[in-house]
Amino acid sequence: MRAADADRLADELTSAAAAGDTARAQLLLQNGAQTNRKNRYGRTSVQCFKYYTFYRLFVAVFQNCKCVCVCVCVCVCVQVMMMGSVHMARLLLSHGANPNAVDASTGVTPLHDAAREGFLTTVELLVRGGANVTALDHRGRSPAQHALQAGHAHIAKYLQSLESCSFSSAPKHTGSV
């Protein structure tokens, strides 16, 4: 596959992930889209599914707006994994998406995001998929700390219980959930 085609597929897959369009994502994956290839904004599909709820709200509010600023904002904002969609998370992880993809500007991983947003099922899927529960963002905060600061004590407790496990028994990224 040519690099230009792979780049186009990466852009389309990240957009499908951000929009929660599992049917489109599945089709793109069947046509050779790579889950860990970065799109034009430097994000992978697993990083692009966290703003699904924001994306849906934004589209509902600005669906008829032709403003370039709105379009740019939507394009940038949706470049990051739809945490509320267990189906999308499972699809991307089952196709080898790296659950430890780090956002270069903040140092957060998809697990940080899912924990902060309170999506326990997605947190569990990411952990089963090999997410590092002890990963620290650029401010030195773990996913459990993100969850606690956002008021999700049950998720923080779950993650802290995993942090206390030995590293030798920690799950590794396998591409399956």
CA distance 169 to 104: 28
Q: Which two tokens stand for residue 24?
A: 């489109």
Which pLDDT does position 150 carry in this prediction? 94
CA distance 122 to 90: 9
Residue 135, burial from CB neighbour count under 10 angstroms (0-12, 13-18, 19+): middle
Domain of residue 129, residue span:
98-177
The answer to whether residue 89 sits within a structural domain is no
7 and 78 together in one domain: yes
| Whether 37 contacts 11, CB under 8 Å | no
pLDDT over 70, % of the chain: 72
The answer to whether residue 60 scores a pLDDT higher than 60 is no
Radius of gyration of the chain (CA): 16
Q: What is the mean pLDDT of residues 44-72?
A: 52
pLDDT digits (tens, 9 = 90+) for 73-107: 333 333 234 456 788 888 888 888 888 988 888 89
Q: What is the DSSP string of 95-149?
A: TT--TTPPPTTT---HHHHHHHHT-HHHHHHHHHTT--TT---TTS--HHHHHHH
Final residue in a domain of this structure, among 83, 114, 148? 83
Which pLDDT does position 117 carry in this prediction? 87
The answer to whether residue 93 sits within a structural domain is no
pLDDT digits (tens, 9 = 90+) for 137-160: 999 999 999 999 999 999 999 999
Which pLDDT does position 84 carry in this prediction? 61
Which pLDDT does position 147 carry in this prediction? 96
134 and 171 together in one domain: yes
CA distance 7 to 17: 15
The answer to whether residue 91 sits within a structural domain is no
First-to-final CA distance of the chain: 28
54 and 128 together in one domain: no
7 and 43 together in one domain: yes
- Which is nearest to 88 in space by CA: 130, 26, 9? 26
74 and 113 together in one domain: no
User: 3-class secondary structure for 4-46?
Assistant: HHHHHHHHHHHHHHHHCCHHHHHHHHHCCCCCCCCCCCCCCHH
| Whether 153 contacts 72, CB under 8 Å | no
Q: Which two tokens stand for residue 95?
A: 């196709």
Domain containing residue 75: CATH number: 1.25.40
